[in-house]
Amino acid sequence: MPDKTTNRLALKSYLLEINGLQHRVVCLENETLLNVIRKQMKLTGTKRGCECGQCGVCNVILNGKVVRACVVRMKNVPEHAKVLTIEGLGTPDSLHAIQWAFIANNAIQCGFCTPGFIMAAKGLLDENQDPSREEIRDWLGKHWCACRCTGYKQIVNAIRDAALVLQGKKEMTDFGKALKPGEYIWGTNYPRPSDKYKATGTWDFGDDAGMKLPPNTLYAALVHADVNHAEILNIDFSEAEKMPGIAKVVTAKDIYDAGGTNKLFGAQPPAVLAGSGWERPILCDKKIFMWGDVVAIVCGETYEQAEAAVAKVKIDLKELPAYMNVEDAIAPDAMQIHEGVPNVYLETRVQKGEDAEQVLSSLPHIVEDSFYLHRQPHLTLENDVGFGYWDEDGNLTIQSKHIAIYKGAAFLARGIGIQPSKIRLIQNHTGASFGYKLGITNEGFIATAVIATGRPVFCRYDTKHHITYTPKRAPALMEVALGADEKGKIHAMKHRTWIDHGPYSEFSPGLTSKTSHYMGSLYGIPNVSGVGYSVYTNQKWNTAFRAWGAPQVHTAQEIAIDMLAEKIGMDPLEFRYLNAIRPGETFPHGHPPDVYPLPKMVDILRPKYASAMKSAKEESTDTVKKGVGVAFGIYNSNSAGPDTAENNIELMPDGSVMLYNTWEEHGQGADIGMVSTAHRALAPLGIHPDKIKMFINDTHRCPDSGPAAASRCQVMIGHAIVDSCNKLLDAMRKPDGTYRSYQEMLDNEIPVLYNGKYACVTKDEKGEIVPCTHTDANGQGRPYACYMYGLFMAEVDVDVTTGKTWVSKMTLIDDVGVINNYGVVDGQMYGGLAQGIGLALKEDFEDPAKYNNLVACGFPYIKDITDDMELIHMETPREFGPWGASGAGELPLTAPHPAIINAIYNACGARIKRLPATPQKILECLKHNDR
């Protein structure tokens, strides 16, 4: 710290042993061990996450003990301390047993948390050579090891396997050498190509790459207003501009001076849309619409200088009424959040068959109620991070976590005043997204700062701003009426939905239309009438989140189905069996499913369900009640309407091939998805998977394959990969059936680069192959070709004295078509179920002043998630999927939460209709039942 008498900076010198080598480290005594490891030692395998000890991604071993490096101050690190980081454990070519086991058990998805888990596992196995599963879970919980992707089960599997290897009871196999000539890796557990780098900490994420930028890079700090709704009266930047190291304070004026509109990504209007949809400012200059809105960007020579200057900006505001839910925003006396545009600005409708209200009035069994699914935070462990610069061709280049990079360039163009063709987006290695990076978050700030300063700019949100500013899953208030005849057959459904999309419309048309696509979809209901509304509020703006739209719909649909079954006097599983959609029936949009797996799913689950119900009844006590709940789930595997994708393949001089596409990777397994698909398509060449390389996710080097969203990539990009591979094979094939080498291709003047394309098709009512289409004004059309289906069963324990609920087991029967990679699909299912448990019971985001860290938002740690998750795969081949495949990633978060809610009711009679099912809500419901 500075010496006040001499104005000198006092530093401390340490001799440390880091990864077996002695280093003299000179640092501030109050510096964190994390910053010394990353910034001074340049050991970026230890990741920077929350920086408050809540995520464990920075776990290292200090003098034999696992510590979170972000909360260890150097003044507490003794001289000659031994520090072990992930780099000291193993390398991609020489894996430690723990690293190998994580790869072998598919315990790695995005990989951001992986080094922290591996170092925690090392500490455990140094102390306990043969830990039980529960001892592993206790240890990881004690060390705050957090994962948003995997669901934890595979991580426990990996640590158990590592223990066996270290005991000499299991051998480490070489994954590549285990493959026999002529074998496909399609349909196996073959590891992802990225796994060995993620397991060794050599996979650079955005923050790691940002540390390796040129010396003239500026650091951006954001000036944001922590108020929900206000008029901007004045902003004084004068003191901030005088602070040391400040290159520029960028404001909205700089955007206008550069020819930009200062508006981002207008919602694409359907038939009814009030306003233009282009209401979101990059930098607010007139109003604050939500907590965390940014008014300026301070660009400094160091991050610390930029942050210090932010504190000097003075914002004079006039607070306005804040509408934090749809009920308040649609009230008659509510002011317009965007002047001249009503707060209910969009509606979509569906009408199938007769008017549902009239049909309902004639039916003997009806339920009618309202339901609410809350605002779910994405809670990625890697914060929003990226950087930008001018490339050698004069393109504004942004490297970020974006997962729709061609769309991202289009979303930015008008706002910053640059043509999309001159905007180059490159996806950095990404520590999860779950959909929030479909939209623009930091890219607008980075672009604006690069344009205004002419220099490279790096921007990383801290955890508080990452959580409070980035968009969330949109809440939905839903009214549903269902009616069935004397035999229990459902004949009609009526529904109304209000989507709280925050102050910015962006993706709201697509989300609101999901209610018409899916409300009642799994039951072949002949008469459906529904309407969905998009509503402006001053809550957090909302965007895509895994299973976008389906968790809202299934909350209302699957709880209402249970209520109707009870009213009729039927078992809820048998009621679903009776009404499950079958051949001859159609979805609410009038188009039939691609396959009909639901009745068979019930057949498979029936004995497990009966056993679970029996156990729940026998094992319940006066204080802890056990219950079982079920729910169907469905999601699409292509973007709605005329979806397209492209892929390029190039034969390389060494006989390998290079794939070029925009299958953006954010943990879901894009790399093995494309390698396995190409490996099977190129089987005639006998090429080894290691010879299939990828140059991906760069708008100026790769064709547009569309976004990594809607679980569309295996279907859409998979087809494009197959098409390009077939074209290459046709070009390489000689008259005798053998294949030309690279040199022979050149000698014969045959191109070595081929473009593959695919446009989504399905079948019409005549059985003819036709393009997919958007739905019309009545919600009728052919929006999707492939779907994924699931039947969820939750088993819960409810302590009726406290309301605390624990999910003891989750069972999922899924049908995602023919499976490309079992390890990847299993990981998607486990991870989605874990997120569903969090959604049902504890995750939330209401008050941005309070919900500003992982714990406050209800992040589900390992002890919050059951270790007992059972997956049963039904692989019904899809006609319009490559080799019968469909998508997978969205399915597991479609409906685990209503299964849990239904199980709570089965356990104790508390029917929760507004999620999450907190202990307080359960107790209140039980008290109401007593009255």
**Which helix (DSSP H) or strand (DSSP E) does residue 310 occupy?**
helix 303-310
- Give the Å distances, CA to CA, from 608 to 625, 806, 837, 870, 894: 19, 19, 20, 11, 21
CB atoms within 10 A of CB 126: 14
Nearest to 95 by CA among 191, 186, 17, 185: 191
SS (H, E, C) 650-702: EECCCCCEEEEECCCCCCCCHHHHHHHHHHHHCHHHCCCHHHEEEEECECCCC
**Which helix (DSSP H) or strand (DSSP E) does residue 234 occupy?**
strand 230-236
CB atoms within 10 A of CB 187: 17
Select which of 31, 650, 664, 890 is catalytic: 890
User: What does the alpha-carbon distance between residue 32 and residue 22 come to, in Å, rounded to a whole number?
Assistant: 19
User: What does the DSSP 8-state code read for residue 4?
Assistant: T
User: What does the alpha-carbon distance between residue 517 and residue 425 come to, in Å, rounded to a whole number?
Assistant: 32
Q: Which two tokens stand for residue 526?
A: 């002949």
- Give the Å distances, CA to CA, from 123 to 136, 197, 930: 11, 21, 50
**Which helix (DSSP H) or strand (DSSP E) does residue 386 occupy?**
strand 385-390
The distance in angstroms from the start CA to the end CA of the chain is 63
Return the sign of the alpha-carbon dihedral for residues 881, 884, 890, 891.
Answer: positive
User: What does the DSSP 8-state code read for residue 182?
Assistant: T
Contact status, residue 791 vs residue 894, Cβ threshold 8 Å: no
User: What does the alpha-carbon distance between residue 196 and residue 201 come to, in Å, rounded to a whole number?
Assistant: 9
Amino acid (1-letter code) at residue 733: R
| Residues contacting residue 897 through CB under 8 Å, at least 6 positions apart | 373, 551, 554, 555, 836, 837, 839, 840, 915
Order the strands of the 423-427 sheet from edge to edge.
Answer: 246-250, 293-300, 218-225, 457-460, 385-390, 396-400, 423-427
**Which helix (DSSP H) or strand (DSSP E) does residue 720 occupy?**
helix 713-732
> What's the alpha-carbon Rg for the chain, to the nearest Å?
28
Scanning 167-263, the segments in alpha helix (DSSP H) are: 195-198, 206-210, 238-241, 252-257
CB atoms within 10 A of CB 416: 22
Active site (annotated) includes residue 479: no
CB atoms within 10 A of CB 239: 12
Rounded to 5°, the CA angle 594-599-600 comes to: 90
Nearest to 813 by CA among 577, 598, 556, 524: 598
Nearest to 463 by CA among 382, 377, 375: 382
User: What does the alpha-carbon distance between residue 775 and residue 276 come to, in Å, rounded to a whole number?
Assistant: 21
- Give the Å distances, CA to CA, from 323 to 201, 277, 496, 537, 541: 44, 19, 21, 5, 13
Please give the positions annotated as active site. 890
